[in-house]
Amino acid sequence: MKLQAIAFDIDGTLYPSAALFVRMLPGAIRRLRLLLAFDKIRKQIRQPGFYAERRIPIPAGVDAFHRMQSALTAERLGRKPELVHGHIESFFYGQQEEVFARIRLFPHVEACLESLRAAGYRLGALSDFPARRKLQLLKLDKYFDVIMTSEESGYVKPHRASFDQLAAQLGVPAGQTLYVGNSERYDVAGAQAAGMRTALISRRRRVESAADFVFRDYRQLTDFVARQAAAPRA
């Protein structure tokens, strides 16, 4: 089937992950215990059957998801949930986003997005963290028809729920959507579980991947999509 939509992860996909890491490092060092506990909880949430095993209801919406993960992080740290929630919201969902005004994209990202829009594709963005402010600061929000975080679904990648929701919001069948990411475990596996086609960006010259396409340069992705459009219908 012909592609109708192209969707993108953000962190590590539209820009180098190291660029964010360097800018977050001073604040992360001051909050090391919080960062480690938060990271541990996020990894647990990613595991299949997490809610059933913990007997926790699936959060309905982003705020409920944030409250849930803050409570679990606070429990791990032995601190008050409201205090931990404030710190998490400030650092991970506030201060972190503002550094995107100084982050440089991978080469040819904007030209790729312009080409895809001109060709008539629906464009989506799906990140594990809130994405709209990031894309605004990166000056890319104008290209996307749908911008969402996986947290809206009550899950994070690689659970298929957010990918299903993305396809529904794009109004395009999953099988006619190409999802572009930088993680084999989270992006490729999650999108494929939802029935999407996948592309993996990797800076390594050789990489084994289950993705339909692996690329290093966004000009390669632009060419790949063009070839798919030109291929005879099955």
Q: Which residues face 126 on adjacent strands?
A: 148
Q: Are residues 208 and 130 in the same domain?
A: yes
Decide which of 80, 100, 120 is a domain's last residue: 100
pLDDT of residue 95: 61
Written as six digits, the tokens of 175 are 């099988």
pLDDT of residue 93: 85
pLDDT of residue 206: 76
Q: Are residues 38 and 82 in the same domain?
A: yes
pLDDT of residue 127: 96
Given the structure tokens 């001073």, which residue do they identify? Answer: 26
| Per-residue confidence in pLDDT tens, the chain, 234 aa | 899 999 999 999 999 987 777 767 677 778 899 999 999 999 999 999 999 999 999 999 999 999 999 999 999 999 999 999 999 998 888 766 678 888 999 999 999 999 999 999 999 999 999 899 999 999 999 999 999 999 999 999 999 999 999 999 999 999 999 999 999 999 999 999 999 999 999 988 778 899 999 999 999 999 999 999 988 765
Please count the structural domains in the chain.
Answer: 2
Q: Are residues 133 and 36 in the same domain?
A: no
pTM for this one?
0.93
Q: Are residues 213 and 110 in the same domain?
A: yes
Written as six digits, the tokens of 185 are 């475990």
Q: Are residues 118 and 226 in the same domain?
A: yes
The amino acid at 48: P
Q: Are residues 96 and 117 in the same domain?
A: no
pLDDT of residue 205: 75
Q: Are residues 85 and 138 in the same domain?
A: no
pLDDT of residue 233: 64
Decide which of 79, 100, 121 is a domain's last residue: 100
Q: Are residues 127 and 223 in the same domain?
A: yes
Q: What is the CATH number of the domain that holds 197?
A: 3.40.50.1000
pLDDT of residue 92: 82
Q: Which residues face 125 on adjacent strands?
A: 8, 147
pLDDT of residue 97: 66
Residue 74 near residue 110, CB atoms below 8 Å: no
Q: Are residues 186 and 82 in the same domain?
A: no
Given the structure tokens 């099988």, which residue do they identify? Answer: 175
**Domain, as residue range, for 26:** 19-100
Residue 9 phi/psi, 5° resolution? -70, 170
Decide which of 100, 124, 149 is a domain's last residue: 100
Q: Are residues 115 and 218 in the same domain?
A: yes
